[in-house]
Amino acid sequence: MRRSTYLVVLQTLFISLCFSQVLFGQQRDSVLLSKPVRFSLNQLTVPAGLIATGIILNNNSPRSIKNWVAKERDEHIPTFHSGVDNYLLVAPIALAYGLDAFGVKSKTDILNRTVILLKGEIMTHATVCLLKSKTNVLRPDGSNSYSFPSGHTAQAFAAATFLSEEYKDRFKWMPYVAYGMASGVGAMRIANNKHYVSDVLLGAGIGILSMKVAYWTHQYRWGQKRETRRLQTY
C-alpha cells in the first residue's frame, strides 16, 4: 500500500485508542471479558479457499479469468476512480474502538485487544510486502509491479476479522457488516484498475488468516495483574 494509506491506518488507530482511554476509567469495576479464541480446522476453510483461489486465478493467459474481469472493467467503467477504499479499509477498526468507547463492550479488554490487533497488522503487512516484492506482478493500470496481492484488501479483511471477533457474539449481524465493508474495498480496488481479482482474493485470505492467527496465539496476559489489583480495591 502507499505511504498515505499507512498514515491513515496509524492515525485512525491512534485516535480510536485515545478516545477509548478517556472512558477506560469507567470500566474499572467490570470483570475481564477476554476469552481465548480456540483454533479449529473449520476456521481455515474460508481463508485457505481464498488464498488457493487467488493463486490459481493468477494466470497471465489472455483468456484467464483475471484478465477477463479486467477487460470487462475497461469496457464498462473505463474512467471510474474513487478514493473511498483508502478510508474504508480502516473503518472496522474505528468502529470496534468506537463502540467500546461508547459503552458497547467488546469481547476483549482494550489492552489485550490492541496487542492482538498490532500482531495481526504486522503479520498482514509483512506477508503482503514480502509477496509483492517476490512476485513482481504488473498492475492492470501498468503503474508498478506490486499488484499481487492487494494490500488494501488484506488490510480491510484483517480489520473486518478484528471487528467480527470482538462483536459477533453480541451482534450476530456484525460479521456481515464487517466483511461487507471489506468486500467493498476489494471490489473498488478492481474498479479503480489497481488490482486483478486474483490479487484481491489472495489479499482477503491473508488478512483473515493473519488476524485469526493473532487471536489463536494470544495468551491474554496483558494488564491482568493491574486489573486484578484494581478490582481488589473496590
Confidence of residue 18 (pLDDT cuts 50, 70, 90): very low
- All structural domains of the chain, each given as residue ranges with its CATH number in brackets, are 60-220 (1.20.144.10)
Rounded to an integer, the average pLDDT of 216-225 is 80
Q: Between vectors from CA 128 to CA 67 and to CA 61, what angle results, nearest 5°? A: 20
The pLDDT, as a whole number, for residue 35 is 66
Whole-model pTM above 0.85? Answer: no
Share the mean pLDDT of the chain. Answer: 85
Q: Which contacts of 56-61 are long-range, i.e. CB under 8 A and separated by 24 or more positions?
A: 56/198, 57/196, 57/197, 57/198, 57/201, 58/137, 58/148, 58/196, 58/198, 58/199, 58/202, 59/198
Model confidence pLDDT, tens digit, residues 169-193: 999 999 999 999 999 999 999 999 9
Q: How far is CA 41 from the centre of its chain?
A: 21
